Amino acid sequence: MSKPQVTSSAANSALILLAAVLLLSIFTYWPSLSNGFTNWDDNVYVTANEHIAWNSKNLDVLATKEVAGNFHPLTMWSLAFDHKSLKSGGIDPVPYHRTNLLLHLLNVLLVFFFVRHLRFGPVTAVLVAAVFAVHPMHVESVAWVSGRKDVLYSFFFLAALVLYPWARLQAGARQWGAWGALLLLYILACLSKPAAIILPGVLWLLEWYEDPKSAFKPAFLLKLLPFLLLGAWFAYQTLHYQEAVGAVAEGYFTGFEKMLFAGFGLSVYVLKFFLPTGLAALHPAPDPGFAPEGRFYLGLGFSLLLLGLSAWAFMAKKRLLFLGLGFYLLNLLLVLGFVKVGSALYAERYTYLSYIGLSILLFGGIEWWVKQENLKKGLQIAGALGVLAFAWASTKQIPVWKNSESLWTQIIARYPQEKNYQYRGYDYYLNKQFDKALADFEKAYALNPNNEVSSQIRAICLQKLNKPAEALAAYVEYTKKFPPKAAVALEMGNCHKALGQNARTTQYYEEAVRLDPQLADTWNDLAILHFAEKNYSRALECIDKALALKPDNLAILNNRAGVRLTAKDYRGCIEDATRSLGINPQQKQILLYRSEAYRLSGQQSEASADRAKAAGM
């Protein structure tokens, strides 16, 4: 394929258009800088990650520790670099979103130069970069803090693709240096996200595009060998980490079902390239044993046609067609469901790089196949209008990633499933919006009354809303279905306490400490209940258990001093009060306790001294 002739004025126009694309990207994604965190992986990566602050100790941990079943230390280091605590508490989300946007803008530039190196004209390169910049299916990778791995690995991946045309033309020492730089970029990409392991396949595809014969020469294949060996190692590590956290669901689906998933994924991504509707952060896979719907067979049929077309393009040396389809297929190969990882049928973030192939095929086809200049310009204008439509759709999708509520509200609108209600309900619960949390957990419970989490949290929400009788009824339902749990017994005791039923409160508190003897505060509460019933011996047993767990807790220690005083154990009361005053001398009530114990044990001078101190407070 000969290089198109480009005048300097056309090149300048292309740079102006590229600048316009970058400005459109900034305008489109600027609202993402006001987004916060979500409870969809952001908690695991950042907000609940104890090692997220930037320091040498944490960097050592992040270099070896898996996160959410993945090993991507470079991504974790970049997130740690963005860490900034807010004065009001918590973590500032702005630096994370700012870095994501910056990386995305750099990727837009790399896409432009990559397409130019393929010898397409500047307008084609601009349009491909523009679709990459503002396609709504890419919002997830940019506007989601945990999408950092996508924009970061893509930066190194695309940098390697931009470098490759130059590297393949070098000779001697410069050739080894160029390929060493490619290998370094490959390692950095894999350390950002293991999906980068397909880079050697893309490099082979680019070599075939340049010279189909050269792609099979031993000299070239030998250069790819280090990439393949490293890729195999990263693939092994990824599967190891995924299996360790139970994310690989190999036994749940048959081989044919996995083929249906793969075929459906390939076809739905093509459809959403042109018509990106029905967006959501989670598109759940069917449950194991599902009855395949017609859409799965249609998707498989379309995908087989796509593969057949790719094979024909290869055999017929239709370089543009094979390049576009090959780039699309290779960048989706690992996420088509042959190895089932996670619960998604397909995910929008998987298109971040793969859509470059479809864009090259679309706009490159217009450039190379359409001979009439007026028609070509008309189609390019139509493409530009499509880009603007994509940007508008992205501005509607970006606020979805503002917080957990907005995220799960969109997901629930498309998939009103039990787990989705749980995710949103738990976010409401953590933000003390107990009425909304209860509504979601009621819906989750209605969908699956045998889910332990929904059963327990709906009861807790009723408690938080000061409805102890209804909460108690919910707990009773829980106990009929699930094994005894200390936390549930404790809360049932609290419900009875709120209803003024002390005997039943005592019964459930006793059950709670039987199930979990480490509940120091519950032992203390039990002591108070038994004390009120004048069961001093059991009260002392309970408070001794509490003190064994919290030996320096003043409230518990002072309670025992009071119980001992009432039980006429004056020496014990004096010992506890003296120990308590040694921790905090400014306790008037404890001085009076000890004074009374001294008086009743016949130590009048000590009693008078304590009364005098108390009077002076």
- For each of the domains in the chain, give its residue range(s) and CATH number, in order of start: 8-404 (no CATH), 415-567 (1.25.40.10), 568-617 (no CATH)
Average pLDDT over the chain, rounded to an integer: 91
Pick the more confident residue, 153 or 241.
153
Residue where the block lists tokens 């042959």? 338
Q: Are 486 and 516 in contact (CB under 8 A)?
A: yes
- For the record, the structure tokens of 73 come out as 């230390």
Q: Are 540 and 559 in contact (CB under 8 A)?
A: no
Across 526-537, average pLDDT = 93
Specify the range with the lowest mean pLDDT, choosing from 10-24, 336-350, 436-450, 470-484: 336-350
Confidence category of residue 2, pLDDT binned at 50, 70, 90: very low
Confidence category of residue 143, pLDDT binned at 50, 70, 90: very high
| DSSP line for 98-155 | HHHHHHHHHHHHHHHHHHHHTT--HHHHHHHHHHHHH-GGGHHHHHSGGGHHHHHHHH
Q: What's residue 9's pLDDT?
A: 67
Specify the range with the lowest mean pLDDT, choosing from 37-46, 97-106, 168-177, 261-270: 168-177
Q: Which amino acid is located at 401 in the chain?
A: W
pLDDT digits 0-9 by tens, 569-590: 999 999 999 999 999 999 999 9
Specify the range with the lowest mean pLDDT, choosing from 285-289, 296-300, 308-312: 285-289
Pick the more confident residue, 293 or 4.
293
Specify the range with the lowest mean pLDDT, choosing from 65-69, 242-246, 463-467: 242-246
Across 415-420, average pLDDT = 95
Q: Is pLDDT at 386 greater than 90 in this prediction?
A: yes
Q: Is pLDDT at 406 greater than 60 in this prediction?
A: yes
Q: How many helices (H) and strands (E) does the chain have?
A: 29, 2
| DSSP line for 153-199 | HHHHHHHHHHHHHHHTT--HHHHHHHHHHHHHHHHHHHHH-GGGGGH
Q: What's residue 316's pLDDT?
A: 94
Q: Which amino acid is located at 124 in the chain?
A: T
Q: What's residue 399's pLDDT?
A: 96
Q: What's residue 3's pLDDT?
A: 47
Across 366-376, average pLDDT = 78
Q: State CA 201 to chain mean position distance.
A: 28
Residue where the block lists tokens 């940019």? 142
Query: How far apart (Å, rounded) are the C-alpha atoms in residues 33 and 97?
Result: 5
Q: What's residue 387's pLDDT?
A: 94
Confidence category of residue 10, pLDDT binned at 50, 70, 90: low
Q: Is pLDDT at 393 greater than 70 in this prediction?
A: yes
Interstrand relation of 344-346 and 283-284 (parallel, antiparallel or unpaired): antiparallel
- For the record, the structure tokens of 224 come out as 């790819």
Q: What's residue 8's pLDDT?
A: 66
Query: How far apart (Å, rounded) are the C-alpha atoms in residues 355 and 128?
Result: 9
pLDDT digits 0-9 by tens, 144-157: 999 999 999 999 99
Q: Which amino acid is located at 511 in the chain?
A: E
Q: Are 427 and 441 in contact (CB under 8 A)?
A: no
CB half-sphere exposure, 328, CA atoms < 13 A = 25
Q: What letter does residue 538 receive in the DSSP assignment?
A: H
Q: Where are the alpha helices (DSSP H) in 550-603?
A: 554-566, 570-583, 588-600
Confidence category of residue 565, pLDDT binned at 50, 70, 90: very high
Q: Is pLDDT at 337 greater than 80 in this prediction?
A: no
Largest CA distance in the chain: 115
Specify the range with the lowest mean pLDDT, choosing from 2-11, 35-44, 278-287: 2-11
- For the record, the structure tokens of 614 come out as 């108390």
For residue 461, CA distances in Å to 428, 431, 437, 538 come to: 10, 12, 7, 33
Q: What's residue 1's pLDDT?
A: 41
- For the record, the structure tokens of 94 come out as 């702005």
pLDDT digits 0-9 by tens, 158-181: 999 999 999 988 888 898 999 999
Q: What's residue 37's pLDDT?
A: 96
Q: Which residues contact 371 (CB under 8 A, 6 or more apart)?
A: none
Q: Is pLDDT at 542 greater than 80 in this prediction?
A: yes
Confidence category of residue 324, pLDDT binned at 50, 70, 90: very high
- For the record, the structure tokens of 542 come out as 């309970």
Q: Is pLDDT at 246 greater than 70 in this prediction?
A: no
Confidence category of residue 342, pLDDT binned at 50, 70, 90: low
Q: Is pLDDT at 340 greater than 60 in this prediction?
A: no
Across 430-437, average pLDDT = 96
Q: Is pLDDT at 457 greater than 50 in this prediction?
A: yes
Q: What's residue 196's pLDDT?
A: 96
